[in-house]
């Protein structure tokens, strides 16, 4: 089990107060706080090695390049990818999925071809595909969500057709916390020779990933949700696919040779990395992944699992609480439920609940969570969402539950 006190000492922001009360930060699915080692890495990189990467022959540029490329190797190891050629740095999950939809779409999707997503996707795994559909006449097919917040796999099998070009689904729902059976989804799709992309934004901070073992064709995540800096994301893609996909953006770095008679592309992964990358950010990302690896994702997951159980026990005992997704089977947490919980207080608007909790020092998320189709599926305007990280404690939960009881008396 985790010793949380020394871990909390790594996160300076956790000592601050809001409205004169100690901060209880339960909005980790939106972004996680950063440990000092990540913050220090950023300061140190700017104060000692700042120079543009890949371009200079001078010492500073070489050092910055070495650190940036070492960061790519850290990400490769973290995801279990075969080669650093398969690790593309982006600005975040959103850009990773836009890159995929644009570039894969350009190479493989034509009028009447089909892309499958699910009803529980974040907007960033819906809208880029809708844009592709507008450009190419491709058709979006949607896996429905069951009442207990799971993907309907029978319906998924029925959606597969000879025109399906790609299945793109989230590993973990950012609203319900459902952990989708991506191994099964990948197996089913591959049986039909259809590639699979996984939105791993909510999985990577909680579940060890091995893309080769999973066999997925693409996997996307954001550094800022796994204790790293904002502005850095990753798209893992199998070399076989990336080689066939055209560049996403044009500019410096992504070229082999530029002539007005015709330009050639750089090798992987640089073909997809036009312009100066956020190399300070990638270096800090590697530090964040090292931090998580040193503590160990299984230990982090076990700790968060205990927090979720404690919260569910308290919420189940409260009147007027409706929890979305399947919260009944505590034993199955983390094989099919991650550390995100969404609920509503009957008769109260979620944003009122969120605002009142905020004034009691509890930071939660309210609203549609960039998943409006899922809100429509459940016929609700939004939810109150709490989400845990490795530094949350039992007393965070107790403070949250006490505050929620007070809120329930007010609204």
Active site residues: 370
Stretch that binds ligand PMP, among 78-86, 156-164, 181-189, 195-203 (CB under 6 A): 195-203
CA–CA gap between residue 329 and residue 227 (Å, rounded): 29
Q: How far apart are CA 37 and CA 294, in angstroms?
A: 12
Closest approach of ligand PMP to the CB of residue 288, in Å: 14
Q: Which of 199, 217, 273, 304 binds ligand PMP (CB under 6 A)?
A: 199
CA-angle at 282, arms to 13 and 391, nearest 5°: 30
94 near ligand PMP, judged by CB under 6 A: yes
Residue 46, SS3 per DSSP: helix
Identified binder of ligand PMP from the candidate list 32, 38, 54, 92, rule CB under 6 A: 92
Q: How far is CA 242 from the centre of its chain?
A: 21
* 202 counts as binding ligand PMP under rule CB under 6 A: yes
Range 313-372, binding ligand PMP (CB under 6 A): 370
- Cβ neighbours, 10 Å, residue 135: 13
Element (H, E) at 78: helix 59-79
Q: How far apart are CA 132 and CA 218, in angstroms?
A: 17
Size of the site for ligand PMP (CB under 6 A): 12
Query: Taking contact as CB under 6 A, which single stretch among the options 13-21, 86-94, 269-277, 350-358 is the one that binds ligand PMP?
Result: 86-94
**DSSP conformation class of 112:** T
How many other C-beta atoms lie within 10 A of the C-beta of residue 110?
A: 11
Token representation of residue 152: 């309907």
Q: Which is closer to ligand PMP, CB of 138 or CB of 202?
A: 202
Length of the chain: 411
Contact between 174 and ligand PMP by CB under 6 A: the answer reads yes
Contact 390, 295 (CB under 8 A): yes
124 lines the binding site for ligand PMP (CB under 6 A)? yes
Given candidates 41, 164, 178, 222, which one binds ligand PMP under the rule CB under 6 A? 222
Nearest approach in angstroms of CB 349 to ligand PMP is 21
Per-residue CA distances from 379 to 36, 67, 127 (Å):
42, 49, 21
209 touches ligand PMP by CB under 6 A = no
Contact 253, 265 (CB under 8 A): no
Cβ distance to ligand PMP smaller for residue 221 or 270: 221
The correct pick among 49, 81, 198, 201 for binding ligand PMP (CB under 6 A) is 201
Q: How far is the CB of 338 from ligand PMP (least distance, A)?
A: 11
Q: Is 312 helix (H, G, I), strand (E, B) or coil?
A: helix
CB of 395 to ligand PMP, least distance (A): 26
- Closer CB to ligand PMP, residue 138 or residue 178? 178
- Chain positions contacting ligand PMP, by CB under 6 A: 92-94, 122, 124, 170, 174, 199, 201-202, 222, 370
């Amino acid at each position: 089990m985790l010793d949380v006190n020394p871990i909390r000492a790594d996160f300076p922001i956790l000592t601050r107060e809001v409205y004169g009360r100690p901060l209880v930060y339960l909005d980790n699915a939106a972004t996680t706080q950063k440990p000092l080692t990540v913050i220090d890495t950023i300061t140190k990189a700017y104060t000692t090695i700042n120079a543009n990467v890949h371009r200079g022959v001078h010492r500073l540029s070489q050092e910055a390049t070495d650190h940036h490329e070492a960061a790519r190797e850290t990400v490769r190891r973290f995801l279990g990818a075969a080669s650093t050629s398969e690790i593309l740095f982006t600005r975040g999950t959103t850009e990773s999925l836009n890159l995929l939809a644009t570039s894969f779409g350009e190479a493989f999707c034509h009028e009447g071809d089909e892309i499958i997503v699910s009803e529980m996707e974040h907007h960033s795994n819906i809208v880029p595909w809708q844009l592709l559909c507008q450009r190419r006449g491709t058709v979006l097919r949607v896996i429905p969500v069951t009442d207990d917040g799971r993907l309907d796999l029978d319906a998924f099998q029925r959606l597969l057709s000879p025109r399906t070009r790609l299945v793109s689904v989230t590993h973990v729902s950012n609203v319900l916390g459902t952990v989708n059976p991506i191994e099964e989804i990948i197996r089913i799709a591959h049986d039909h020779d259809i590639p699979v992309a996984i939105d791993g934004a909510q999985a990577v901070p909680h579940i060890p990933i091995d893309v080769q073992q999973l066999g997925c064709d693409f996997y996307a995540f954001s550094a800022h949700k796994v204790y790293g800096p904002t502005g850095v994301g990753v798209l893992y893609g199998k070399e076989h696919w990336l080689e066939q996909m055209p560049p996403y953006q044009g500019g410096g770095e992504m070229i082999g040779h530029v002539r007005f008679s015709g330009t050639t592309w750089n090798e992987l992964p640089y073909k997809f990395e036009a312009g100066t990358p956020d190399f300070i950010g990638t270096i800090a990302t590697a530090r964040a992944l090292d931090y998580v690896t040193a503590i160990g994702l299984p230990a982090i997951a076990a700790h968060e699992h205990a927090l979720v159980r404690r919260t569910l026990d308290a919420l189940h005992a409260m009147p007027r609480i409706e929890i979305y997704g399947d919260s009944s089977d505590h034993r199955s947490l983390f094989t099919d439920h991650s550390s995100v919980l969404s609920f509503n207080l009957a008769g109260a608007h979620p944003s009122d609940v969120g605002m009142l909790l905020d004034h009691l020092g509890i930071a939660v998320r309210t609203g549609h969570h960039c998943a409006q189709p899922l809100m429509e599926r459940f016929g609700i305007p939004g939810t109150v969402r709490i989400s845990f990280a490795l530094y949350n404690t039992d007393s965070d939960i107790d403070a949250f539950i006490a505050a929620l009881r007070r809120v329930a008396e007010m609204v």
